């Protein structure tokens, strides 16, 4: 394999998962003058070609290894760096898992953290998607530059986001596990909003899971007793999802406050000028948390004008913080790609 840049990712098939979509979208945002290849490593492919000049690693511990400790891949990258002195940039979508001492995986966590420390010591620069991850990584290795770079929207806007929206309609979008966790976590607040007819319909969108998960999701949605019912649409095309996000009024977000910058779902909601419903919303907190909508605010009554203003602020924030043009420019600079083409991307 002879090429300028190799992007190593656990998956590279569109629609397969968040990291695959991230990697493919990033490819579209990088300069066109570089010879780029995407490599999905397997157990029998752990020696990286010495002809490669630069490597970008999309790091997901469980994506690369079923037990969340891709030791051989980390060692292969360190060996490549030592032999070639090539440029190594790492995007940490995940770090180590924080198991308690009583958990059987506690020592795996320690070994994993030690391996990440060695990887950081050999990296030229690292990114991660949350400030909390950045703090943990800097504590491991203070010498390697580590930057926070929120993820981009995994759904491009394909329709006019200023079209009239269906009042009282909400969407819950994402992977099956994320949708289920959101419905479990926000069940009480969603039930109150449904009883008050503030939310009258919820549309579930995203790849399907096993039969039991789909059935549980249906039971949770049915228990809300929504006036206009619910829909479980399953996997949809990007354009179809964009149309739904541009049509409903609310996006249900059930993750915690520390996770929004690594959520493609959150960014897709924001990019579509959608009001985001979250339990941790608080007008007194810094942006963008202050522009989210808390269930209590909807129950007490919040003006349509205020909702529209918050959604617009979210969209503006997303464009300035995690547009794919910006993400592509950041990685181009980190990888020292063609300067002229990088400047063209940054000026778009």
Rg of the Cα atoms in the chain: 21
Q: Are residues 58 and 116 in the same domain?
A: yes
Whether residue 176 is found in the same domain as residue 236: yes
> Is 144 in the same domain as 272?
no
What angle, 0 to 180 degrees and rounded to 10, lies between the N-to-C axes of helices 211-223 and 176-185?
30
Residue 225 inside a domain? The answer is yes
In a domain, 70, yes or no: yes
Q: Is residue 61 part of a domain?
A: yes
Residues 100 and 242 both lie in one domain: no
The count of domains in the chain is: 2
Evaluate whether residue 159 is within a structural domain. no
> How far apart are alpha carbons 77 and 60 in whole angstroms?
14
Residues 93 and 48 both lie in one domain: yes
Mean pLDDT is lowest, of 36-45, 136-145, 302-311, for 36-45
Domain of residue 293, CATH code: 3.40.50.2000
Q: Evaluate whether residue 37 is within a structural domain.
A: yes
pLDDT band at 347 (very low <50, low <70, confident <90, very high): very low
Print the domain residue range for 49: 5-152+323-346
- The tally of CA atoms less than 13 A away on the side-chain side of residue 20 is 9
Give one DSSP letter per residue of 216-263, joined into a string: HHHHHHHHT--TT-EEEEES--HHHHHHHHTTEEEEE--S-TTSGGG-
Rounded CA gap, 156 and 239, in Å?
A: 8
Which of 7-11, 24-28, 106-110, 228-232 shows the lowest per-residue confidence on average (mean pLDDT)? 106-110
The predicted structure's pLDDT at residue 1 = 52
* Same domain as 202, residue 266: yes
Question: pTM for the full model?
Answer: 0.88
Give the residue from 253, 279, 258 showing the smallest Cα distance to 268: 253
Q: Does 252 lie in the same domain as 121?
A: no
d(CA 8, CA 40): 6
User: 335 and 275 in one domain?
Assistant: no
Any residues with CB less than 8 A from the CB of 24 and at least 6 apart, and which?
A: 12, 14
Question: At which residue do the structure tokens 């964009």 appear?
Answer: 242
Residue 304 sits in the same domain as residue 341? no
Give the whole-number percent of the chain exceeding pLDDT 90: 69
147 and 176 part of one domain: no
- Contact between 28 and 18 (Cβ < 8 Å): no
Q: pLDDT over 70 for what percent of the chain?
A: 93
Kindly state whether residues 138 and 234 are assigned to the same domain: no
Query: Does residue 213 sit within a domain?
Result: yes
Q: Kindly state whether residues 206 and 105 are assigned to the same domain.
A: no
Per-residue pLDDT, 83: 94
Has residue 68 been placed in a domain?
A: yes
Give, in order, the Cα–Cα distances in Å from 234 to each of 20, 118, 220, 330: 19, 41, 16, 34
- pLDDT for res 339: 53
How far apart are the C-alpha atoms of 133 and 259, rounded to whole Å?
A: 10
pLDDT (mean) for 69-95: 94
Confidence band of 15 (pLDDT split at 50, 70, 90): low
Residue 158, domain member (yes or no): no
Q: Which of 96-110, 166-180, 203-217 has the lowest mean pLDDT?
A: 96-110
């Amino acid at each position: 394999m002879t090429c300028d840049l190799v992007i190593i990712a656990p998956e590279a098939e569109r629609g397969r998962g968040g990291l695959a979509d991230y990697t493919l979208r990033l490819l579209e945002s990088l300069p066109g003058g570089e010879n780029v290849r995407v490599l999905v490593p397997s157990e029998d492919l752990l020696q990286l070609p010495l002809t490669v000049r630069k490597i970008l690693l999309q790091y997901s511990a469980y994506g690369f290894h079923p037990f969340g400790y891709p030791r051989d891949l980390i060692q292969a990258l360190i060996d490549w760096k030592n032999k070639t002195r090539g440029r190594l940039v790492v995007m940490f979508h995940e770090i180590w898992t924080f198991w308690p001492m009583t958990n059987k995986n506690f020592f795996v966590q320690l070994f994993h953290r030690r391996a990440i420390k060695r990887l950081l010591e050999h990296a030229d620069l690292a990114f991660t998607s949350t400030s909390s991850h950045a703090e943990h990584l800097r504590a491991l290795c203070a010498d390697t530059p580590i930057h926070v770079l929120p993820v981009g929207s995994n759904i491009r806007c394909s329709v006019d986001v200023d079209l009239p929206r269906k009042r009282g309609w909400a969407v819950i979008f994402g992977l099956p596990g994320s949708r289920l966790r959101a419905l479990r976590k926000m069940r009480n607040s969603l039930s109150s909003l449904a009883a008050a007819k503030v939310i009258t319909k919820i549309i579930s969108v995203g790849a399907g899971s096993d039969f039991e998960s789909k059935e549980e999701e249906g039971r949770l949605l049915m228990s809300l007793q929504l006036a206009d019912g619910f829909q479980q649409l399953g996997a949809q095309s990007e354009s179809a999802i964009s149309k739904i996000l541009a049509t409903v009024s609310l996006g249900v977000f059930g993750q915690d406050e520390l996770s929004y910058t690594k959520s493609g779902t959150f960014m897709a909601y924001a990019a579509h000028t959608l009001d985001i419903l979250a339990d941790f919303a608080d007008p007194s907190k810094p942006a963008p948390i202050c522009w989210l909508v808390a269930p209590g605010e909807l129950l007490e009554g919040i003006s349509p004008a205020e909702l529209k203003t918050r959604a617009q602020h979210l969209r503006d924030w997303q464009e300035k913080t995690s547009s794919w043009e910006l993400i592509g420019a950041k990685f181009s600079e980190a990888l020292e790609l063609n300067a002229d083409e990088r400047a063209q991307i940054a000026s778009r």
